[in-house]
């Protein structure tokens, strides 16, 4: 999962997509933002334009957003943009939807930013409208993102194919999965999968992990010591050597998480993409 607003160029996107396909990484998701959280000067290419372009450049890779805010686009525009990308990809695109949260981004680009209660209502309305614009047969895999509260879990249970939560521990994921199961039961639907998006830094050795953390921290404009960073985030992330990372993923699997989207901030480090596909994935397959 790539934070596309952090200066990821088209050449960077091509490199990432090709590395994923070459090394067996199944999916490439991206955020949907127009403003960097750390450096406003960093360019941010439009999410759905990039996904459509990557759809034409790839053969096997699942592509999608985590997540597209309901405040950015009318439902008809989002439904058409995602369906167009999906047709180009031959059915490999997923649409992630959420309420939006970065107020400064909305102010800078002229997007309305109503209170959370209103944004939650808009999310439920857009989920229904996007489904309706797609027609009788849903065209895309639909994901709702949230923190496990009823305002996002309930509409996800009714309309979505997957619920994605972020930066949660295995224990928190287990609790959120129970809420999701209960909401699906109330809707009379089979349980939908729970997925997680969380931080990822892996390496062959502890020193390699420490160096990758150092670069990640530096890119984020922080000054945290790499060892302190690892200690603070390992409970709710995938950080460490291959065996450490694999055990963290197994803990999420035991908590009921169906898949984990690994947030990779150092987007020009294609070697880590290769390590995820070649070394980490086989340990938890």
Question: Of all residues in the chain, what percent carry a pLDDT higher than 90?
Answer: 95
At residue 220, the pLDDT reads: 84
Compute the distance between CA of residue 148 and CA of residue 165 in angstroms, rounded to an integer: 7
Whether the Cβ atoms of residue 197 and residue 66 lie closer than 8 Å to each other: yes
At residue 221, the pLDDT reads: 82
At residue 222, the pLDDT reads: 84
- The pTM (predicted TM-score) of the whole model is 0.97
Compute the distance between CA of residue 222 and CA of residue 179 in angstroms, rounded to an integer: 35
At residue 136, the pLDDT reads: 83
Class of domain 10-284 as given by CATH: alpha beta
Task: For the chain, give every domain's residue range.
Answer: 10-284
Please give the average per-residue pLDDT across 131-150, as a whole number.
94
* pLDDT of 115 over the 90 cut: yes
What tens digit of pLDDT does each residue of 13-66 get?
999 999 999 999 999 999 999 999 999 999 999 999 999 999 999 999 999 999
* pLDDT of 157 over the 90 cut: yes
Please give the average per-residue pLDDT across 250-270, as a whole number.
97
At residue 278, the pLDDT reads: 98
What tens digit of pLDDT does each residue of 213-253 get?
999 999 888 888 999 999 999 999 999 999 999 999 999 99
* pLDDT of 181 over the 90 cut: yes
Query: What are the C-alpha distances in Å from 207 to residues 1, 161, 203, 241?
Result: 24, 40, 8, 9
For the purposes of burial, counting CB atoms within 10 Å of the CB of 135, is it exposed (0-12), middle (13-18) or buried (19 or more)?
A: exposed
Place 137 in a pLDDT band, splitting at 50, 70 and 90.
confident
Token pair belonging to 36: 């960097």
């Amino acid at each position: 999962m790539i934070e596309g607003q952090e200066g990821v160029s088209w050449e960077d996107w091509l490199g990432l997509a090709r590395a994923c396909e070459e090394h067996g990484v199944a999916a490439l998701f991206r955020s949907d933002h127009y403003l960097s959280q750390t450096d406003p000067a960093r360019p941010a290419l439009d999410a759905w334009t990039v996904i459509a372009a990557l759809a034409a450049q790839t053969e096997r890779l699942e592509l999608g957003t985590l997540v597209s805010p309901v405040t950015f686009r009318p439902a008809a525009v989002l439904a058409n943009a995602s369906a167009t990308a999906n047709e180009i990809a031959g059915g490999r695109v997923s649409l992630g939807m959420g309420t939006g949260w970065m107020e400064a981004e909305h102010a800078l680009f002229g997007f309305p930013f109503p209170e959370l209660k209103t944004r939650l209502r808009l999310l439920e309305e857009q989920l229904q409208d996007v489904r309706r614009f797609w027609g009788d047969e849903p065209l895309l895999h639909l994901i709702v993102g949230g923190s496990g509260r009823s305002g996002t879990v309930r509409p996800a249970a009714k309309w979505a194919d997957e619920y994605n939560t972020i930066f949660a521990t295995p224990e928190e994921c287990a609790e959120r999965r129970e809420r999701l199961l209960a909401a699906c039961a109330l809707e009379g639907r089979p349980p939908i999968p729970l997925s997680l998006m969380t931080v990822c830094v892996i390496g062959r050795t502890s020193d390699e992990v420490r160096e990758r953390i150092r670069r990640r921290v530096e890119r984020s404009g922080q000054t945290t010591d790499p060892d302190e960073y690892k200690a603070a985030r390992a409970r709710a992330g995938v950080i460490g050597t291959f065996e450490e990372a694999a055990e963290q993923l197994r803990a999420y699997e035991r908590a009921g998480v169906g898949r984990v989207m690994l947030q990779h901030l150092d987007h020009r480090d294609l070697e880590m993409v290769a390590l995820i596909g070649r070394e980490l994935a086989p340990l938890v397959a």
